[in-house]
Chains A and B, each alone.
Chain A
Amino acid sequence: MDIYQLLRSYLGSTLRQRALRSPWTYRLLKQAVAAQKRHYPWQAAHRLLLNTIDQAAAAFLQKGPVIWHNVFFPTEVLYGLGTVPFAPEAAAVVATGLGIAERALQRAEGDWVSSEACSFHRLAHGCDREGYFPPPGAVVCSSHLCDTAPQSLAATAAYHGVPFYLLDVPHQQDDTALEYVARQLKSITFSLVETLNLAWDEDRFQAALVNSNAARERLLAINRLRQQRPACIRGEEAHSFIYLMLAGFGAATSVEVYGELLTELAQRYRDQRRAVPEEKARLVWLHLRPYYPNAIFQILEQEAGAVVVCEEMNYVYWEPLDPERPFYSLAHKVLSHHGLGPITRRIEAILAMVDAYQAGGVIHFAHWGCRQSTAGLRMLQDALRERGIPFLNLEGDCVDQSKYAPGAVRTRLEGFLEMLL
């Protein structure tokens, strides 16, 4: 039984509202996934999927106050409050995998959502209005990097008639900016407590930061392993864990998943169990990837032996948090993102990745409507060219399959590989 086909047929029908709000859906799903445990090449990925099902169940069954957030808002706050975080952008990825994206995108178009906007947000809008998402009790959003998120999520909060909290993040990283962001984080936290009638538990809040630090340590260790040659995990596989970076920091379950991944990966390095039979090139991958069926990683990694050894989205850009000073350290984390501020910060970070991972090439996936990632590409290209590092800007869309042209993508990838190899 293909559980994804079963889900698609379930969700595509008028029963979807009932299906998503039935505990049986999640019980059956977990059982089906659990039964396939031995088919997963990475047990950490299996655990991640089970945890994600639990999180989805908590959100759809309203096991706690559901708070929508964009992927750059520090989720330590939400886990620390004991709420159920829900990331519509990440859920859009799941919608793509479940084959309901086309209908949801049509709904967004019908609602006058600009087709030039980021497809993650267009899709999230459509999924929400089609009844695929759990209603929020509140919406939180940070202003940095993604310029579509504040508009999109503010509109969603208004649609649902719930409070919207914006974390206004400046471009500077000085003490004034730190103070400003920290004050807002504290204000948002206690506003949520009051508005949603939450029980403030300082221990639980600090525990979220402790969890975040533990997850960070494990991810750093994973990334250090991946700097070795040859690679023992393909980029396509490592990409699955980006979800934790975007929606999982602060949760104890994220620590478990990273811990399991670290154990498995370390063993593979000890056993020298290569990711591909012959590693011909090592690549850094910038931004995200298409989440519908596509041949990109097959062409790169399996056909050509060009392994993605580092994903920008898995890069640890912040210092450990201080549970005694949660808002300041979280503000520091937010302001530390290399994508914030002058493009030189991002360029320096990417060059450091190239050096640390001994990469011979860089691929940027230019997701449709993502201005924060694509705007500075000329300067990035020039910086990489100065270092003699081949660079490919691959235009496409992470969730809208109508924008995927298999032949054109293959030509660009193979042309790049011919430059590289």
Chain B
Amino acid sequence: MSLTAGVDIGSLTTKAVVVRDGRLVGAAVLKSGVDSAEIARKALQEALEQAGFKEDSLDGIVATGYGRIRVPFAQRRVTEITCHARGIYHLWPDIRTVIDIGGQDSKVILLDDGGKVRDFVMNEKCAAGTGRFLEVMASALEVPVKDMGTLSQQASQGASISSMCTVFAESEVVSLVAEGRPVAEIIKGLHNAIAQRVVAMAQRAGWEEPVAMTGGVAKNPGVVKSLEEYLGTSIRIPPDPQIIGALGAALLASG
């Protein structure tokens, strides 16, 4: 039996996955905190509890995400780029492009037919177009982030959001609300703005079909729909897109 774990310490959430003989048997998602090591351990413990194992049964642990260097109990550290690729390859070996939109970064990862990373592009020093962007806008619109996807699907067209800076876009949103623009159209406009930014990244990378999406923002059907419209292709979403990085890490821990 091979039992391994992956821990993905992101800016907003920390995820842990336990894999037994290549099968996911436990997972946990917690809010990230100041003490990355402590949160990582808590997430791991939760995932292990779900799987019915103790930490000393593990054959290996790989840490990923920005906080990966602050996980003392991991044997290896691998970037989230490689881990997301590995995770998706495990689910769908035919995928050639992974779009990952997380809390504060977004990336486009190209895979070869062996699941190895061929190339990648990441957003540069700006959280516009990421989960944080949506959180700020949700707050400005006074709607829960989890409802943005379904709300946007009520709109037939999206409001034009010209600013990509999160702060200026928020200001635009407030103005649109004051003008009486329907909230659904504003949200659709925000999703379109994210999609345009990510598609530009995908074009820089030289994306290919088929495409999958990972990260917390993949749970937003409105963003997924906007991305599909701008890319002109369908996008596959895993059952739990948020844990794919941790899944990849756990698979890499088994060699």
- Interface of A toward B, CB cutoff 8 Å: 378, 381-382, 385, 390-391, 395, 403, 405, 407-408, 410-412, 414-415, 418-419
Q: How far is the CA of A56 from the CA of B80 in the complex (A)?
A: 46
The segment from B47-55, B115-123, B159-167 found at the interface with A is B115-123
B residues 80-96 with Cβ under 8 Å of A? 80-82
Question: Which residue of A is nearest B80, CB measured?
Answer: A411
* Contact between chains at A385 and B206 (CB < 8 Å): yes
- CB of A157, distance to nearest CB on chain B (Å): 34
The one of A395, A403, A407, A415 that contacts B120, using a Cβ cutoff of 8 Å? A415
* Contact between chains at B125 and A418 (CB < 8 Å): no
**Given A395-B124, A415-B120, A407 and B66 touching (CB < 8 A)?**
yes
Neighbouring A residues of B117 by C-beta, 8 Å: 415, 418-419
* Contact between chains at B79 and A391 (CB < 8 Å): no
Most buried by A among B69, B80, B124: B124
The one of A381, A382, A411 that contacts B79, using a Cβ cutoff of 8 Å? A411
Neighbouring A residues of B66 by C-beta, 8 Å: 407, 411
* Contact between chains at A418 and B78 (CB < 8 Å): yes
The one of A390, A405, A415 that contacts B125, using a Cβ cutoff of 8 Å? A405
Most buried by A among B79, B82, B105, B117: B79
Q: How far is the CA of A407 from the CA of B70 in the complex (A)?
A: 12
Say if the beta carbon of B146 comes within 8 Å of chain A: no
**Given A408-B125, A411-B66, A418 and B119 touching (CB < 8 A)?**
no
* Contact between chains at A419 and B119 (CB < 8 Å): yes
Count of inter-chain pairs, beta carbons less than 8 A: 40
**Given A385-B119, A385-B206, A415 and B124 touching (CB < 8 A)?**
no
Neighbouring B residues of A385 by C-beta, 8 Å: 119, 206
Neighbouring B residues of A390 by C-beta, 8 Å: 119
- CB of A415, distance to nearest CB on chain B (Å): 4
* Contact between chains at A412 and B116 (CB < 8 Å): no
The one of A381, A395, A408, A415 that contacts B82, using a Cβ cutoff of 8 Å? A415
Say if the beta carbon of B204 comes within 8 Å of chain A: yes
* Contact between chains at B204 and A378 (CB < 8 Å): yes
- CB of B87, distance to nearest CB on chain A (Å): 14
Neighbouring B residues of A395 by C-beta, 8 Å: 124-125
Question: Which residue of B is nearest A407, CB measured?
Answer: B66
* Contact between chains at A418 and B124 (CB < 8 Å): no
Neighbouring A residues of B82 by C-beta, 8 Å: 415, 418
Q: How far is the CA of A7 from the CA of B70 in the complex (A)?
A: 36
Neighbouring A residues of B69 by C-beta, 8 Å: 410
Neighbouring A residues of B79 by C-beta, 8 Å: 411, 414-415, 418
Question: Which residue of A is nearest B205, CB measured?
Answer: A381
5 residue pairs from A and B, CB less than 8 Å apart: A385-B206, A412-B122, A418-B78, A418-B117, A419-B120
Contact with A along B202-219 (1 / 0, CB 8 A): 001010000000000000
* Contact between chains at B81 and A415 (CB < 8 Å): yes
Neighbouring A residues of B206 by C-beta, 8 Å: 381-382, 385
Neighbouring B residues of A418 by C-beta, 8 Å: 78-79, 81-82, 117
Neighbouring B residues of A407 by C-beta, 8 Å: 66
Neighbouring A residues of B122 by C-beta, 8 Å: 408, 411-412
Question: Which residue of B is nearest A416, CB measured?
Answer: B120
Question: Which residue of B is nearest A391, CB measured?
Answer: B119
Q: How far is the CA of A385 from the CA of B125 in the complex (A)?
A: 26
- CB of A283, distance to nearest CB on chain B (Å): 16
Neighbouring B residues of A414 by C-beta, 8 Å: 78-79
Neighbouring B residues of A391 by C-beta, 8 Å: 119
Neighbouring A residues of B81 by C-beta, 8 Å: 411, 415, 418
Contact with A along B92-134 (1 / 0, CB 8 A): 0000000000000100000000001111101011000000000
Contact with A along B42-77 (1 / 0, CB 8 A): 000000000000000000000000100100000000
Q: How far is the CA of A412 from the CA of B124 in the complex (A)?
A: 11
- CB of B126, distance to nearest CB on chain A (Å): 11
Question: Which residue of A is nearest B121, CB measured?
Answer: A393
- CB of A118, distance to nearest CB on chain B (Å): 17
Question: Which residue of B is nearest A390, CB measured?
Answer: B119
* Contact between chains at A419 and B80 (CB < 8 Å): no
Starting from the known contacts A381-B119, A419-B117, 20 additional A-B residue pairs (CB-CB under 8 Å) come to A378-B204, A381-B206, A382-B206, A385-B119, A391-B119, A403-B125, A405-B125, A407-B66, A408-B105, A408-B125, A410-B69, A411-B80, A411-B81, A411-B122, A414-B79, A415-B82, A418-B79, A418-B81, A418-B117, A419-B118
